[in-house]
Structure 1
């Protein structure tokens, strides 16, 4: 009996140790957040084991969660939902059934997942885009772009850009009753990265006559140069997106070559000949004092030219929109940027907001001081959080007021 009690005690202690994660004091529902974080961490560990044993690629293992979360396109009394293709790219289309006084608004949405996982049909994304369509009485196009590791940059960008360009044709807008003056591109995390890149590319595309009214970037990933920003230092082990996972996503976007991941993790991946680009991500000039905390800016440590020559995508503005020049940022549409305090990507969004304002772009920077990466997706059982509902409400209200 004593041995059984000892085993039970040890097992309980190990489980408690595994589940326990320090949660910032200002985060609501800390125990629920802790359990969600432990679930994500467990999935990551299982994926790592599967990868090391040669059973499946790390990202393919993570995709099992995506598959488990998948919901079929289901129409309701308010929205007609169908899976179709635009320009040979899979999309989930949401068409309102309610009458409209005139032409409708439209949102083109790109899901998150580090360019490697995720799906427009996941429960959380289906809820978000269905809710957007219903609340705004808007046409919503949610894009299922192809993913790494099977497809590398720039395929993901090319997919979302192809869909956007197709949808912006006057004949397509007319077919769906969309007002050409009220169109938005939006996305979260890697999807926010893609939305920012699409908005920039549209400015240079003389074939596209329809202009975006707004872009909405939800905790976007925007730069590949500095993996040691204050937000990366402060939130290295924070919920949902620790630093090493973000580095893994970034490097996997371009290659499975571990040398790029290792160089990014140590912040030694940018060659000296690209040193001029650091001007665009110099957080000592672009972050407000309250976000610098106790961090001290140091000059970059440069890596060899070999990685940049083999994988030039990580220095491409289509992958890192924050590297665009001021001239390339002028003319961007009205912008919404949501950042979360406890997020490694926080400073990407903050710096982009600062740079856009500096060139005359109208920006609403919505900073959630009590939130972490991905929080807006946690709005349905069993991973439902009050902060998720609050951020979703703010995002929808901004779109309703500005689109």
Structure 2
């Protein structure tokens, strides 16, 4: 259904229902009937203002695509979400028209449903106006406004005060595929119940148990759930989110892993922090010393997990068994010892998990990692890197790079021949895949054969972009929570404002990394050049001015006749402008060209409705413009973090398989020529 047909159907539905409930002998009486009439009228008002705005975006958003085959960017996503909201309203309105004469018709319930979607449409209208200003004020066809003051600061203030509860109640996850909406509803119910019991119990298990007794009221009252969800996301600190996200680490929810694919080897390893040497790629007779991680907490054991569907030679060696650590339960060791040993695999996946740099471990990601190991017939080594705020940047990067190098040095312990290795990660882990490879280039050691980064966080600044506007409504990535994660990741660095002090006392390690471009790195974190690295690589497109409805006489974001719904209490948002956010090892999108050249092939799997979509699109363009092999695949109708939901629906499993196929391509392809690859956008059923 094209946009004109959508709006035509919406107007017809609203007018017909409004006429029925406002007059005639069959008109129902009561407050609910009048609420329906008022809502239908308001929806029509919003739609009439939205129609020309959507048409304007539809005429230009193709300029921001990665290529003619990959139709994805934040402007497209905003238009799609608005259309999805309109279609939901039409569907619910038609249900009302078909059932309003029935004795079983729940008028108050229907009025509540329409009011919730009307509120959502109002807030989406506000987002489109903000996107219009971004489109007009930005230059060079860039998706990001590359300043933290001005427009980005204005968007942050709008987010802090705009009403968001409507997106967490009856409308939660309306933009995503229907198969996962019940799961998202369960997550929101669980979170608000967890928040009510937070700090009443000492352990995460105690909070989870207490939450079971209070979740019922939030399941029955979606308005209450939305209000409480908004309060929690706006006000609770990073320690709450660490505790909630780490529920998946408990033995209770760890039972989910038992229902996933069974593997012969699943061992938690702990490696001592000792230096070792690797040969240089340019001259194998020369060695590079890989120093153990030392940032913030000093030398400490490095944790990782080895997963293998089959027991392979070396995986039962005394040296490896000496590295095994107990997790408070039986180690998956006896299964392997009794099984027949297979030859070493030519492939190895080194995996970095997501979790906003502050939460989760390899255990949270076990279900899909086990499936990957079985399907690939290869072992996986997942790194349990230290988490912020206790161990902020660059500790995680140091540990991930150390484990990558350790795996190359000790390939015989992992059931791997040492032939091909792929880095794979999601979200924060995708960021680490890229930065570890940048560090390998700087050290001159062997590079991975490729990178698979799923919905990676590639720009950790608070720069505004159209896809980031979706954080107003995303139940898994609210902007207030993202800002807390980013602040935690640099928490101990903020006081160090000098250029040389940004990477802490052991910065000599990073200077060693930067021997192939140190001066460019230093320039990239200086205020005067922070925007040039991206803008120079993007071709200019003609941008139309904002809608005539926009107020151009002052700083007002919205037309004089419109105001979005506001929250009773503003979110606690702060604009952290520490220069470390622009460090290329934290925000690879801002890296100078010299640091991106020489990277292995990068395969990005992004989500069309992810607030971080624009990170992936812009980074793929950067790599293409410096002639680095890159592919971008975009999946529809799924949220950020779909790999962790891969067991819940056919759609998430298919998307997980897309990631798996990208890894397989890295292992099976010949050395790629220096030409740019692109993949067709993946369409979910």
TM-score bracket relative to the smaller structure = 0.7 to 0.9
Counterpart in 1 of 2:475? 239
1:130 equivalent in alignment to 2:370: yes
Partners of 1:233 and 1:284 lie apart in 2 by 24
Q: Structure 1 residues 335, 100: closer, same or farther in 2, change over 3 A? A: farther
Counterpart in 2 of 1:142? 382
- Between 1:228-237 and 1:189-198, the stretch displaced more is 228-237
Aligned-pair CA distance for 1:281: 4.5
- Between 1:365-374 and 1:105-114, the stretch displaced more is 365-374
Aligned-pair CA distance for 1:23: 3.3
Partners of 1:61 and 1:121 lie apart in 2 by 15
Residues 422 and 666 in structure 2, CA contact (< 8 A), matched pair in contact too:
no
1:58 equivalent in alignment to 2:240: yes
Counterpart in 2 of 1:299? none
User: Which residue, 340, 345, 350 being the options, matches 1:108?
Assistant: 350
Partners of 2:375 and 2:242 lie apart in 1 by 34
Equivalence map 1:198-347=2 (5 Å): 198-206=436-444, 208=445, 210-255=446-491, 273-282=526-535, 285=538, 311-347=578-614
Aligned-pair CA distance for 1:28: 3.1
Residues 219 and 346 in structure 1, CA contact (< 8 A), matched pair in contact too:
yes
Give the greater-gyration-radius structure (CA).
2
Partners of 1:37 and 1:72 lie apart in 2 by 15
Partners of 1:118 and 1:288 lie apart in 2 by 42
Aligned-pair CA distance for 1:135: 0.9
Structure 2 unmatched runs, 5+: 1-107, 113-164, 201-231, 274-300, 312-340, 496-523, 551-574, 668-685
Aligned-pair CA distance for 1:177: 4.0
**RMSD, aligned CA:** 4.0
Partners of 1:286 and 1:48 lie apart in 2 by 50
Counterpart in 1 of 2:412? 174
Counterpart in 1 of 2:179? 29
Larger strand proportion, structure 1 or 2?
A: 1
Partners of 1:257 and 1:103 lie apart in 2 by 41
Partners of 1:153 and 1:231 lie apart in 2 by 25
Partners of 1:195 and 1:59 lie apart in 2 by 24
CA displacement 1:175-210 (0-9 Å, x = unmatched): 33424341011110111111111011110113x2x3
Q: TM-score, normalised by structure 2?
A: 0.47
Q: Structure 1 residues 144, 287: closer, same or farther in 2, change over 3 A? A: farther
User: Which residue, 295, 305, 329 being the options, matches 1:92?
Assistant: 305
- Between 1:226-235 and 1:68-77, the stretch displaced more is 68-77
Q: 2:362 aligns to what SS in structure 1?
A: coil
Partners of 1:352 and 1:279 lie apart in 2 by 14
Aligned-pair CA distance for 1:358: 1.3
Counterpart in 1 of 2:652? 388
1:82 equivalent in alignment to 2:346: no
Q: 2:249 aligns to what SS in structure 1?
A: helix
Partners of 2:428 and 2:471 lie apart in 1 by 18
Partners of 1:55 and 1:357 lie apart in 2 by 39
Partners of 2:356 and 2:237 lie apart in 1 by 22
- Between 1:232-241 and 1:250-259, the stretch displaced more is 250-259
Partners of 1:40 and 1:319 lie apart in 2 by 32
Aligned-pair CA distance for 1:307: 6.3
Q: 1:107 aligns to what SS in structure 2?
A: strand
Partners of 2:525 and 2:448 lie apart in 1 by 36
Counterpart in 2 of 1:184? 422
Q: Structure 1 residues 41, 282: closer, same or farther in 2, change over 3 A? A: farther
- Between 1:152-161 and 1:108-117, the stretch displaced more is 152-161
Q: 1:371 aligns to what SS in structure 2?
A: coil
CA displacement 1:63-94 (0-9 Å, x = unmatched): 54233344699898743111112353111101
Q: Structure 1 residues 40, 329: closer, same or farther in 2, change over 3 A? A: farther
Partners of 1:272 and 1:189 lie apart in 2 by 23
Aligned residue pair count: 359
Counterpart in 2 of 1:267? none
Partners of 1:258 and 1:132 lie apart in 2 by 39
CA displacement 1:200-230 (0-9 Å, x = unmatched): 1110113x2x321011111010112343111
CA displacement 1:102-155 (0-9 Å, x = unmatched): 642001101110011111112xx1112111111111121011111112111111
Aligned-pair CA distance for 1:325: 1.0
Aligned-pair CA distance for 1:256: 7.9
Partners of 2:395 and 2:492 lie apart in 1 by 15
Residues 334 and 362 in structure 1, CA contact (< 8 A), matched pair in contact too:
yes
Q: TM-score, normalised by structure 1?
A: 0.76
Q: 1:109 aligns to what SS in structure 2?
A: strand
Counterpart in 1 of 2:219? none
Q: Structure 1 residues 54, 72: closer, same or farther in 2, change over 3 A? A: closer
1:370 equivalent in alignment to 2:555: no
